[in-house]
Amino acid sequence: MHTILLLATLLADDPITVSVGKSAAAPYRAALSDYRDAEAALKEGKFALAREKAESILENPKIEKEKRDCLLRIQNQDSTWSNPVEFFPLRARGQALLELAKKQLADGNKDVALASLEAARKDLEESASRFVPRSKELAAEVEDLIRTHSAADDVQHAYDAKMKAALQAESQRRHPEARRFFEEALVLKPGDPEARNGLERIDRRIAEEQRYRQILAIQDPQEKLKACDDFQTDFPTSVYRESVTTLRAQLRNELDADLNTREGRFKNVWFELKEKRRFKSALDHVRKEGGFLPPEKRAGYERQTLEACDAFVANVVRDFERETSLLGPPTDLPSGDELVMTDPALECCRTLQTSMIKLRELGPVPPERTIELLTPAWLACLALIDREDTSLIQIVASLLKEPIEQRLRTIARQADQALPQELEKLRAEAERLLAWSRKGLDDALARMPDHGKTWRERHAFWTEIQAALREIVKEFPLEDPAVDATAAELLDSDDPAGPYGASPRKALRQIEDKLNALREVKKLTRYCRRRLLAALIVAAAQRHLLQGQDVPETAKKLTDYAAALRDCGGPLDSDVQRFGPKIEEVFRRLR
């Protein structure tokens, strides 16, 4: 008989419904919890955790094979039965293995990925045979990936041809062409070490050639000599090493002869000051000691000093951007004593560093305090809005995003527990924080000729941050007036279509359906959920009582509503007392 029922269920193209008696229910309840955790992990992208949760079910000897990937009914202790619920651990594990295989393929672990895909295919085919939704489509996706990545011969042939062409171009010093072939080989076999090493080697050759050409273009002998020294340090095995060594010897001879001249002595002092990053002293030396030089030559020394200072500051800012961290040690920033220019980016770095040092000293602090300490850095970085490079703005925006998110989520949690009169205050606080987070940058963008349109298109990070924060506020719980309006229908004796009219059971069912709809589609506050669930119990209880059922029978059928109501804090006294003694007795039994 069991086999006939099973075949009949399979022929219906719907998942199998399986019942578990109360004597065997405990492991299945635990397995259902693990299954829900697996599905949640899949939604959050935690695929390894999803696989682990599903495997714990599938490897449990207390879970019978014919009672997995089915709709599961479990008998309660009072001998009632739960509604059928989804229980698809095979599909969950198959989907997790599929997603893990995709990542393994992206990381270049094809063999591991194919093994994962084979395991996923087995799980999903068994799940599909039980008519589990989406299992068939997932199995088809697995099959496509196996077919695609098993046909590797054509890829290998194309890869070999690209590598051969790349090595030939490299041997003939056709470096750009060799680089292109190596890149194309990496497209065919992502992460391939031989192609990657070839690309890195070509990039070094190109860098050597560019540096050598730059050295030849330098006019100043002292600068050219230093460039030769730097080249030999950076490229100790370069093909240009002999040429650079010869050039360096020539320059050294010229400079040694020049040392005896007045300009030679002047230049040596200036060069040493500049190399020690004493730009103000170097500029003072040019202006005080360079009077004997022709005006255009003196102006050249001044210009080189300013350019060197500008380049130094730019490098300091780049290093700060790369190394900055709330967890790491402070990055060294130069004082302004020997700089001959001011740069808003450097000032922003100093302001941010001060904030970060303070945060490290304080340790963990509330989000509001973090926002307060980072605000000066945020205002400072807005002076860089006109620059192409937005790295500092992005760094400060990212540092601010986390505490703002934390505070918004805290407010959202408080809102869930809030009474109606408190809810609007919390929402207003969240809106103020959201408005503050965008005001500074939005005001700066508004002053641009196109009101920041081009800037926003080019730098999507700001729109993405604001969208993420706005989503938190959108998820705030509601105090929906429709709940009380629908609940009031339970007491409306003047409505001929209401509970006191000609068709009371129909009216009560409609009220119950409307309340369930509000419960499902809207995120309500805890206080609002209490009133909604109490009204649901009243509507359902009255309907059952009208059908001739007694109070104990009615109460048994409302246990799901009652459990949800207890989670929200239980009914309000006013909800219990205004519907008569039978309803009061129902609530008493449901406590």
H/E run at residue 371: helix 367-381
Distances (CA, A) of 215 to 212, 240, 311: 5, 11, 18
DSSP, residue by residue, 382-425 = GGGTTSS--HHHHHHHHHHHHHHHHHHHHHHHHHHH--HHHHHH
Q: Exposure string (b/e) for 125-164, b if CB count within 10 Å is 16 or more? A: bbbbebbbeebeebbeebeebbeebeeeeeeeeebeebbe
3-state secondary structure of 145: helix
Query: How confident is the model at residue 32, as a pLDDT?
Result: 94
**Beta-carbon contacts of residue 490 (< 8 Å; ≥ 6 apart):** 499, 508, 511, 535, 538, 539, 542, 579
Per-residue pLDDT of the chain (591 residues; tens, 9 = 90+): 344 334 444 444 689 899 999 899 999 999 999 999 999 999 999 999 999 999 899 889 899 989 899 999 999 999 899 999 999 999 999 999 999 999 988 898 877 788 788 889 989 999 999 999 999 999 999 999 888 876 555 677 778 877 887 888 888 887 887 888 888 888 888 888 998 998 888 888 888 888 888 988 998 888 888 899 998 888 888 878 888 899 888 888 876 666 557 777 888 888 888 888 888 898 898 888 888 777 888 899 889 988 888 888 888 777 777 776 544 555 677 777 778 777 787 787 787 778 777 877 777 777 777 777 777 877 777 777 777 777 777 777 777 778 877 887 887 787 777 777 787 888 888 788 777 777 667 777 777 787 777 777 777 777 787 777 787 777 778 778 888 888 888 888 888 888 888 888 898 898 889 888 888 866 888 888 888 888 888 888 888 888 888 888 888 888 888 888 888 888 877 777 777 888 888 888 888
Q: Exposure string (b/e) for 537-561, b if CB count within 10 Å is 16 or more? A: bbbbbbbbbeeeeebeebbeebeeb
Query: How confident is the model at residue 331, as a pLDDT?
Result: 62
| pTM exceeds 0.85, yes or no | no
CA atoms within 13 A on the CB side of 471: 7
Query: How confident is the model at residue 4, as a pLDDT?
Result: 37
Q: Would you give the distance in Å from CA 26 to the centre of its chain?
A: 38
Query: How confident is the model at residue 139, as a pLDDT?
Result: 93
What is the C-alpha to C-alpha distance for residues 499 and 167, in angstroms, rounded to an integer? 87
Query: How confident is the model at residue 181, as a pLDDT?
Result: 81
CA dihedral 130, 133, 136, 141 (to 10 degrees): -140
Query: How confident is the model at residue 45, as a pLDDT?
Result: 93
H/E run at residue 37: helix 25-43
What is the C-alpha to C-alpha distance for residues 127 and 147, in angstroms, rounded to an integer? 21
Query: How confident is the model at residue 9, as a pLDDT?
Result: 43
3-state secondary structure of 478: strand
